[in-house]
């Protein structure tokens, strides 16, 4: 069996400014984001994990380091865990992105299957890289527990894959807050979802949802 602990990074400055970050842009964790990561660390302090994978974006790496705390586990940075590349929308608010291409912004949030970016990645392209990583981890780490720290769209794609949901249903399911925890067991080709976007460790310090 392989066990995955799936985490979204803590709150960032652009999250509270409601700016779209995507995979080509980054902003640091806020004080609240660091607190969220520490609360998750406390929750996971008695959970053993053998390997840590992280998006190479600093907001994810910082969260990984906090959650890993004093454990002597190297962080494997993998580009396949980077957030979806939203091209020229990076750093814009939704309202600013809507002014540039209202049709595709609507598709992004309501019909990802037909979303065609002016620049950046389609959801199908992101799914290809994410699924390749999932399959690699499953084949490589039998009997291990893996912590994966990444981003909203990546987590949505992962959970949809485990639930066998198509891309046009990507935004269905539980809300994925910053520093939330999902847990999946994988055995003999079967996926057992134990937690999905759980935030019970965060109390009242959940944040707005932006990518």
| pLDDT at 119 (0 to 100) | 87
Residue 146 pairs in a beta bridge with: 4, 51
What's this model's pTM, rounded to 2 decimal places? 0.95
What's the fold here for domain 2-198? Rossmann fold (3.40.50)
Q: Is 59 annotated as a binding residue?
A: yes
Q: For strand 51-54 and strand 75-77, is the pairing parallel, antiparallel, or unpaired?
A: parallel
* pLDDT surpassing 70 at residue 168: yes
Beta strands 2-8 and 51-54, pairing class: unpaired
DSSP string covering 76-142, please? EE-GGGSPP--GGGTT-BHHHHHHH-HHHHHHHHH-GGG---SSS--HHHHHHHHHHHHHHHHHH-T
Which helix (H) or strand (E) covers residue 21, if one does? Answer: none
15 known member of a binding site:
yes
Name residue, tokens 């939203």. Answer: 86
Query: CB atoms < 10 A from the CB of 164, how many?
Result: 7
pLDDT at residue number 208: 56
Among the listed ranges 22-26, 63-67, 88-92, 95-99, which one has the minimum average pLDDT value?
22-26
Contacts of 94 (CB under 8 A, 6+ apart): 18, 20, 105
* 94 marked as part of a ligand binding site: yes
Residue 117, token pair as written in the block: 């970016």
Q: Where are the domains of the chain?
A: 2-198
- What confidence score (pLDDT) does residue 211 get? 61
Whether residue 171 is annotated as binding a ligand: the answer is no
Active site residues: 9, 83
Answer whether 137's CB lies under 8 Å from 144's CB.
no
Work out whether strand 145-150 and strand 190-198 pair parallel, antiparallel, or are unpaired.
unpaired
The answer to whether 11 is annotated as binding is yes
1 CB neighbour count, 10 Å cutoff: 12
In this model, does residue 7 exceed pLDDT 80?
yes
Residues 17/208, Cβ–Cβ less than 8 Å: no
Question: What pLDDT score was predicted for residue 141?
Answer: 97
* 103-140 per-position pLDDT tens digit: 999 999 999 999 988 889 999 999 999 999 999 999 99
Q: How confident is the model at residue 32 (pLDDT cuts 50, 70, 90)?
A: very high
Spatial contact of 161 and 154, defined as CB atoms under 8 Å apart = no
Spatial separation of the C-alpha atoms in residues 211 and 208, rounded to whole Å: 10
């Amino acid at each position: 069996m392989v066990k995955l602990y799936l985490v979204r990074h803590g709150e960032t400055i652009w999250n509270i400014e409601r700016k779209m970050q995507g995979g080509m842009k980054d902003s640091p964790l806020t004080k609240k984001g660091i607190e969220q990561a520490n609360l998750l660390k406390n929750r996971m302090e008695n959970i053993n994990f053998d390997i840590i994978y992280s998006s190479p974006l600093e907001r994810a790496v910082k969260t990984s380091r906090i959650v890993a705390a004093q454990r002597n586990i190297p962080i494997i940075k993998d580009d396949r865990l980077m957030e979806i590349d939203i091209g020229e929308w990076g750093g814009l608010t939704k309202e600013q992105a809507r002014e540039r291409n209202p049709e595709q912004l609507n598709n992004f949030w309501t019909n990802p299957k037909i979303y065609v970016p002016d620049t950046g990645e389609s959801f199908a392209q992101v799914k290809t890289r994410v699924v390749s990583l999932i399959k690699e981890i499953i084949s490589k780490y039998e009997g291990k527990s893996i912590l994966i720290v990444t981003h909203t769209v990546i987590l949505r794609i992962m959970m949809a894959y485990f639930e066998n949901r198509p891309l046009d249903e990507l935004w269905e399911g539980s809300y994925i807050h910053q520093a939330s925890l999902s847990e999946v067991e994988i055995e003999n080709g079967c996926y057992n979802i134990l937690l999905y976007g759980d935030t019970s460790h965060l109390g009242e310090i959940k944040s707005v949802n932006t990518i």
